[in-house]
Structure 1
Amino acid sequence: MRGHHLGLPLTTGILAVAATALLFALIACEITTHGALARLDQQLADWFNRHAFSPLTTLVLGYTHLHGTIGVLAMGALLLWHMLRRRQWHWAADLLLVLPGGMLLNFGLKHVFMRLRPHFDDPILVLHSYSFPSGHTIGATLLYAMLAAYLLRLPALAGRGAQAAIVCTALLLVLLTAFSRVYLGAHFLSDVLGAMLLGTAWFALCTTAIFTLHRHYRARARSN
């Protein structure tokens, strides 16, 4: 697959954005109305807090710190440098919209929902910012979605086995980040689910827009 064919078709992209945005809205509604999901959130948070143990806690702390704002932006900067070096301007534009833009969107939504973080008598982490959606989880979702999309367009990785491995690895890394936030008591389950859905919707929106424009201008250049 060549790079300019990787962008989501317009209809598929719109459907992906609509579906993930709708699911995000349903989760947001659950937490604001203190529905069944919010009750499950507290039960799961209490369970992990009671059953946390070392050395797993040490490993999880290391992994989660790697996917903080600085870590994700640093990895994103390396990917951006590679794209710019290869003069892949549409990929670079997509990454700049997806990663910093999505993280800023998430930060703004935290102050819209103003959800308090899980509270425990014996916490592993004590954080004073808002909880929904999870910043670490959306950062990982955006980063690994971009990296997977970029790798999928490489001819050397065009086989189904290689592409399945890329997608599964990206998904696993996101899920591990989400797990780390719930395990450490930094977030509720719905916080990380909401972040994954929001990140997917934002990635699909930006990527569909950028590659639709890219195909349009390539077609115009060929016709001229």
Structure 2
Amino acid sequence: MPTEVGHVVRAEARFGAAFLRRHGLLVLLVFVGILLPLAGFGALAHELREGEGFFFDVPLLEFAHGMQRAGFDRLFVVVAALGYQYGVVPLDILLVVVLGWKRRLREGLFAGFAIIGSALLNLGAKPLFARDRPSLWESIAPEGNYSFPSGHAMGSMTLACVLVLLCWHTRLRWPVAIAMSVFVVLVGLSRIYLGVHYPSDILAGWAAAIAWAYAIYALVFRGGVRPCLNALSRPGKVQG
């Protein structure tokens, strides 16, 4: 019996080692893309539910308020609008429609589930945590609903993750990743500058969006299937 157990253990070890050699990078990416953001969101949510504040929230808000001037006001009002109703939402819809029209159905399914699910998660989380908006000063672009997590942060980060993951196996990956990183950071900064979100709201929104987008990607493209965007210039075969 001990000999049989030893054989089983060695066989499992060999199988595990072979699996990690083939898929170790993928396992690492899943860990980084899903578990770490989830852990970050969980830590933020736990502290918030315990009624404890975050030491960096008020100082960063006050620092942003100290930077206020007319030019920045106009810039961040525009960025905030592009980060939701006048930018991210239309791009979300356009992306899903174009992918469907080009018969990239698996890619369209991923984009649609990631985007819609992220929005629903945000709508469900806000009343669950019921965190009031900052009230350190009167904002030039006030908001009326709850603060945690930031919808602008979640929406912009979800779109960024979807685009980067879809483009990752193409030569566009780095231009898209850099452009979307700049955009996401600007959207987050705009919400802090306008005084309508705590920095922790932004961090929680980013973490939730990354975890959700990576989880949907792992489900839709399981089994080693990769997004196929090299035929977007013409309709292709329907993907299963």
> Which position in structure 2 is the counterpart of 1:31?
48
Secondary structure at the counterpart of residue 212 of structure 1: coil
* Cα deviation, residue 52, structure 1: 1.1
Q: Given residue 189 of structure 2, which amino acid in structure 1 is its aligned partner?
A: F
Q: Given residue 107 of structure 1, which amino acid in structure 2 is its aligned partner?
A: L
Q: CA RMSD in A?
A: 2.2
- 2: CA distance, partners of 1:54 / 1:20: 35
- 2: CA distance, partners of 1:108 / 1:83: 28
* Cα deviation, residue 128, structure 1: 1.8
Cα 1:125/1:148, change in 2 over 3 Å: same
Higher relative contact order (CA 8 A, sep 6+): 1
- 2: CA distance, partners of 1:212 / 1:131: 34
Cα 1:121/1:70, change in 2 over 3 Å: closer
Pairing partner for 2:94 from 61, 78, 85? 78
Q: Given residue 42 of structure 1, which amino acid in structure 2 is its aligned partner?
A: V
Pairing partner for 2:133 from 108, 113, 117? 117
Pairing partner for 1:166 from 162, 176, 179? 176
> Which position in structure 2 is the counterpart of 1:196?
206
- Maintained 8 Å contact 1:141/1:174: yes
More divergent stretch after superposition (11-20 vs 195-204): 11-20
Secondary structure at the counterpart of residue 36 of structure 2: helix
> Which position in structure 1 is the counterpart of 2:106?
90
> Which position in structure 2 is the counterpart of 1:221?
none
* Cα deviation, residue 186, structure 1: 1.0
- Maintained 8 Å contact 2:163/2:176: no
- 2: CA distance, partners of 1:121 / 1:96: 37
* Cα deviation, residue 39, structure 1: 3.1
- 2: CA distance, partners of 1:168 / 1:104: 27
- Determine which structure has more spread, i.e. the larger CA radius of gyration: 2
Count of residue correspondences = 202
Pairing partner for 2:76 from 50, 60, 66? 60
Pairing partner for 1:20 from 17, 30, 37? 37
Q: TM-score, normalised by structure 2?
A: 0.77
- Maintained 8 Å contact 2:137/2:195: no
- Maintained 8 Å contact 1:90/1:214: no
- Maintained 8 Å contact 2:139/2:196: no
Secondary structure at the counterpart of residue 116 of structure 1: coil
* Cα deviation, residue 15, structure 1: 5.2
- 2: CA distance, partners of 1:69 / 1:105: 18
> Which position in structure 1 is the counterpart of 2:14?
none
- 1: CA distance, partners of 2:178 / 2:35: 23
- Maintained 8 Å contact 2:153/2:188: yes
The runs of 5 or more residues in structure 1 that have no matched partner are: 1-7, 217-224
- 1: CA distance, partners of 2:66 / 2:31: 42
Q: TM-score, normalised by structure 1?
A: 0.82
* 1:209 maps to 2:219: yes
1:28-81 deviations in Å (ceiling 9; x for gaps)? 12233354x623212221232233111111011011111224632210111112
> Which position in structure 2 is the counterpart of 1:44?
60
> Which position in structure 2 is the counterpart of 1:139?
155
- 1: CA distance, partners of 2:86 / 2:120: 13
The runs of 5 or more residues in structure 2 that have no matched partner are: 1-24, 227-240
Secondary structure at the counterpart of residue 55 of structure 1: helix
